[in-house]
Amino acid sequence: MVTAAQTLLTDLDALVPAHLELYKDLHSHPELSFQEHRTSGIVADRLRELGYEVTTDIGPTGLVGVLRNGEGPTVLSRADMDALPVLEESGLPYASTVTAMDTEGREVPVMHACGHDMHVTCLLAAAQLLAEHRETWSGTFIALFQPAEEVGTGAASMVEGGLATAIPTPDVALGQHVMGLPHDTVASRPGPAMSAADSIRITVHGRGTHGSMPHTGIDAVLLASSIVVRLQGIVARELAPGQFGVVTVGSLHAGSKSNVIPARATLLLNLRSYDDATRAQLRAAVERIVRAECEASGSPTPPDIEYTDPFPLTDNSPEVHARVSAAFTEHFGDKATPMEPSTGSEDFSDIPRALGAPYLYWIWGGFDPETYHRAEAEGTLNSTIPGNHASTFVPVAEPTLRTGASAMTVAVLAYLAKGA
């Protein structure tokens, strides 16, 4: 029996060349978070050409396309659009040479170093297949293109920008991400799939003085260093063995001259967890340690603790996973594999959570299988396959595009195919 997915995907070969050109164009023209005006415009034009009802300027550069096709479920699929302030070193003919102004007014290089250009292209390909084969499915399909995933606020901005009134309420939401796996592999899991994350800016206060007279001041460098060391005990000594948590100090800045003891120091932290209880435990431990070290150092004022760039836990619905993973197995065979929980984070789940919809977020690969498996056997994966956000993270364009477009189409039709 030929499935609806097989019927649609027979046309994928014809779509690939044009979508490869689109992908390379998007890769060459990356845009930072909330600056995705060109990308959003291209997507909106393509969706309109396919007959979608398009609503733009949601959040502020997000957009949605709605395709109604009779009675049936409503399925939402999401792709993120933003790039990163990374200097591309891939050496590809379509490598980015773009620069842009960041939120602090600095000119920075810009690169699609996390594959969001591939996400956009794959969702557009799936959207075209669905538009051109309405006889195979019934219901409503929503293609959502989200800004600013990299800063963790893009999904929330679309919710706050009126997303719920711009679209029919979805019965299920779907999302995917290209990763450092073989490009023929699709992986999914129920339950926690991507960690919750918090970034914290902490400023501690001392009393500045001359480097030759440390006894007359309160050394903010020593204070900050004591905090860094003490924070390492949270995961090692406060979380139970097997309880996942990460506490990273990514930046420590204090002072500007060797013979001046500075009056303040700033630390930038990142926390990761798989459940709300651990997240609260990590936050409380960080704040306790920071305040205690400030007290121990005789800090003249309390520390400033500011939480930024929050990412929610991605907690996949077991029911949605069961249905979609069965469809993946039927289509991809043994290349549909279980996904290990990722320590990375995503804001996708803010959308289905706000809309009251169950969801599934899966990953697929973007790199040559032979190279991957050889590196795996030699124990050199980390040095051979670039990680997301690296200056060389560029998926093999094809067949990564084909796999991603197929995965999204198969997942959508698990709900919308006639007789599903």
Q: What pLDDT is stored for residue 8 in this prediction?
A: 87
DSSP one-letter string for 208-233: -EETT-GGGSB-HHHHHHHHHHHHTH
pLDDT tens digit sequence for 158-216: 999 999 999 999 999 999 999 999 999 999 999 999 999 999 999 999 999 999 999 99
CA nearest 248: which of 345, 178, 341, 155? 345
Contact call for residues 409 and 9 (beta carbons, < 8 A) = yes
CB 142 within 8 A of CB 77: yes
What SS3 class is residue 179?
A: strand
Cβ neighbourhood burial of 300 (10 Å; 0-12, 13-18, 19+): exposed
Give residue 2's pLDDT.
Answer: 66
Task: Report pLDDT for 172.
Answer: 98
What pLDDT does residue 309 have? 85
Give the separation between CA 360 and CA 339, rounded to whole angstroms.
Answer: 12
Per-residue model confidence (pLDDT) at position 4: 82
> Is the pLDDT at 1 greater than 90, yes or no?
no
Which tens digit of pLDDT belongs to each residue from 281-316? 999 999 999 999 999 999 999 999 999 888 999 999
Q: What is the pLDDT of residue 28?
A: 98
Summary mean pLDDT of the chain: 97
pLDDT in tens, 64-110: 999 999 999 999 999 999 999 999 999 999 999 999 999 989 999 99
Q: Which residues are catalytic?
A: 82, 149
Residue 5 pLDDT more than 90? no
The arithmetic mean of pLDDT across residues 129-138, rounded, is 96
Write the pLDDT tens digit of every residue in 351-398: 999 999 999 999 999 999 999 999 999 999 999 999 999 999 999 999
CA-to-CA separations, 182 to 290, 365, 376, in angstroms, rounded:
43, 5, 11
Helices (H), 100-219: 116-132, 154-160, 163-166
Dist CA 402 CA 125 (whole Å): 9
364 touches 337 (CB < 8 A): no
What is the pLDDT at residue 419? Answer: 82
Predicted pLDDT at 134? 96
Residue 15 near residue 128 (C-beta atoms within 8 A): yes
Question: Is the model's pLDDT at 54 over the cut of 70?
Answer: yes
Residue 51 · residue 67 · CB < 8 Å? yes
Largest CA distance in the chain: 84
Mean pLDDT value across residues 327-356: 97
Whether cis (ω within 30° of 0) applies to the bond prior to 147 is no
